[in-house]
Amino acid sequence: MMPDTILEAIDVTKHFGKDAGWPSRAPVVQAVDGVSLQVRRGETLAIVGESGCGKSTLARLLMRLLTPTSGEVLFDGRQISKSRGDELRALRRDMQFIFQDPFSSLNPRMTVARLVGEPLEIHAPDLSASDRRAKVAELLQQVGLRREHADRYPHEFSGGQRQRIGIARALASGPRLIIGDEPVSALDVSVQAQVINLLGDLSRDLGLTLVIIAHDLGVIRHMSDRVAVMYLGRIVEIGKTEDVFSDPKHPYTQALLAAIPSMNGPTADHAATVHGEMPSPSDPPPGCRFHTRCPHAQDLCKIQTPHLSAAQETSHQVACHFADALQRRIPPSNATQKSKTAEARFALYRAATEGGTIAHNTQQDQP
């Protein structure tokens, strides 16, 4: 383990349907299969992949909301799969979860003050009632809500505000690490940007470590320092976000990036896109799990599982037999090609929304 590692998974596997009491007929679902990764203190690590590839399962394993079928998870160098009692309580304080769906994750009968105050009752039982109220007000302010919101119920808030309540609740115990499972996916772009900025500010100001699960590659590119790409229960590529986005090495990562709709019109990088769908995790293909869709697959890929290249932990790692031989594919930039006037207009907009002083000329175009 590197000295700055806060959370580590070592060869973690979760197979659902295996631990049933009697031989069950349902096939075993290999949701997560032999995943190892390190999360560094203070970084934002993103986990990306298609629906059903095991992102949520991995997040729950990291949080110890699920027990791995095999493998270990270490928090601060301590094995957490066997934590009980006080140790487990401390773990729950240090690691918090933000859910995708702010609507269903908040108890509708509790006021915001109680929702945010509840973790305080558990993790800081010595706080007096008035100290707790003050702390709740401080938390609400930290996530951009107002003190008077404390007495309202979740249904009185918009989606973005509810996600802020979820974040305030996660912050209440003073965690060192927060795992967000699609924390902004349900939000509209304009509100999503507010929450992304908030999470960025919090991680910087509080030195928080974030693990963010998302399927929106734009969100990931913006938020994360490093990114892990998952396919069918395994990590196929991991590295610094800028490296993975500018020089994707795994054919699946290349396909994902080629499939992002570009703001510059049809990209049609058909050579890199893949066809069909991800196979079922209850019957994964042998060898490289991507071989059924990979345009570069060879016979070896059907037999032998490629492992993440055992380079320096800090470097860009990829699990593909032929990664070095593959043609480099530079993904197109997604930034729009704006004219000078448009650039200036965007700058004007940014300045205005960031508190600039606005002056209107007297005459405006009236149709």
Partner 1 sequence: MTLTDLALRFRGQPADVVDRVSLAVKSGEVLCVVGESGCGKSVTAMALMGLLPQQNTVISSGHLTVGHTDLDLTRESLPPSARGNRVAMIFQEPMTSLNPAFRIGNQICETIIRHTGTNSANARAHAKEMLQRVGIANPSQRLREYPHQLSGGMRQRVMIAMALANNPQVLIADEPTTALDVTIQAQILDLIRDLRDETGMSTIMITHDLGVVAEIADRVAVMYAGQVVEQGAVRDVFDNPQHPYTIGLMSAMPGLGLEGKRLAIIPGTVPTISNMPKGCRFRTRCAFATSTCQERPKLRKIAPHHDTACHFAPLEAHIEVSQ
Ligand X SMILES: Nc1ncnc2c1ncn2[C@@H]1O[C@H](COP(=O)(O)OP(=O)(O)OP(=O)(O)O)[C@@H](O)[C@H]1O
Q: Which of residues 253-292 bind ligand X (CB under 6 A)?
A: 281
Residue among 282, 322, 329, 334 that touches ligand SF4 (CB under 6 A): 322
Pick 52 or 174: Cβ nearer ligand X: 52
Q: Which does 211 bind (CB under 5 to 8 A by kind): ligand X, ligand SF4, partner 1, none?
A: none
Pick 152 or 329: Cβ nearer ligand SF4: 329
The closest of 217, 297, 226, 295 to 261, measured between CA atoms, is: 217
Q: What is the residue whose two structure tokens read 């910087």? A: 204
Stretch that binds ligand X, among 52-60, 146-154, 263-271, 359-367 (CB under 6 A): 52-60
Pick 154 or 239: Cβ nearer ligand SF4: 239
Residue 358 CB neighbour total at 10 angstroms: 8
> What mask, x for binding Mg ion by CB under 5 A, covers residues 56 to 85?
x-----------------------------
Question: Would you say the C-alpha torsion 204, 205, 209, 212 has a positive or negative sign?
Answer: negative
Q: Which of residues 193-222 bind ligand X (CB under 6 A)?
A: 215
DSSP string, 200-252: HHHHHHH--EEEEE-S-HHHHHHH-SEEEEEETTEEEEEEEHHHHHHS--SHH
CA distance 333 to 264: 9
**245 and 257 Cβ atoms separated by less than 8 Å:** yes
Residue 219, CA distances (Å) to 109, 124, 133, 181, 204 in order = 32, 34, 34, 13, 17
Residue among 13, 16, 37, 229 that touches ligand X (CB under 6 A): 16
Pick 93 or 215: Cβ nearer ligand X: 215
Minimum CB–partner distance for residue 253 and ligand SF4 (Å): 10
Q: What angle do CA 276, 281, 287 make, to 5 degrees?
A: 80
Q: Which does 54 bind (CB under 5 to 8 A by kind): Mg ion, ligand X, ligand SF4, none?
A: ligand X
Q: Which does 306 bind (CB under 5 to 8 A by kind): partner 1, ligand SF4, ligand X, none?
A: ligand SF4
Residue among 13, 38, 44, 57 that touches ligand X (CB under 6 A): 57
**214 and 185 Cβ atoms separated by less than 8 Å:** yes
Minimum CB–partner distance for residue 109 and ligand X (Å): 24
Q: Which of residues 258-297 bind ligand SF4 (CB under 6 A)?
A: 288, 290-291, 294, 296-297
Minimum CB–partner distance for residue 291 and ligand SF4 (Å): 4
Stretch that binds ligand X, among 51-59, 162-170, 237-245, 348-356 (CB under 6 A): 51-59
Q: Which does 221 bind (CB under 5 to 8 A by kind): ligand SF4, Mg ion, partner 1, none?
A: partner 1
Minimum CB–partner distance for residue 269 and partner 1 (Å): 9
The closest of 9, 6, 5, 1 to 60, measured between CA atoms, is: 9
Q: Which does 285 bind (CB under 5 to 8 A by kind): ligand SF4, ligand X, partner 1, none?
A: none
43 three-state secondary structure: coil
Q: Are strands 70-75 and 5-16 parallel, antiparallel or unpaired?
A: antiparallel
CA distance 41 to 117: 27
Q: What angle do CA 266, 226, 313 make, to 5 degrees?
A: 130
What is residue 18's DSSP assignment? S
Binding site for ligand SF4 (CB under 6 A): 250-251, 288, 290-291, 294, 296-297, 301, 306, 320-322
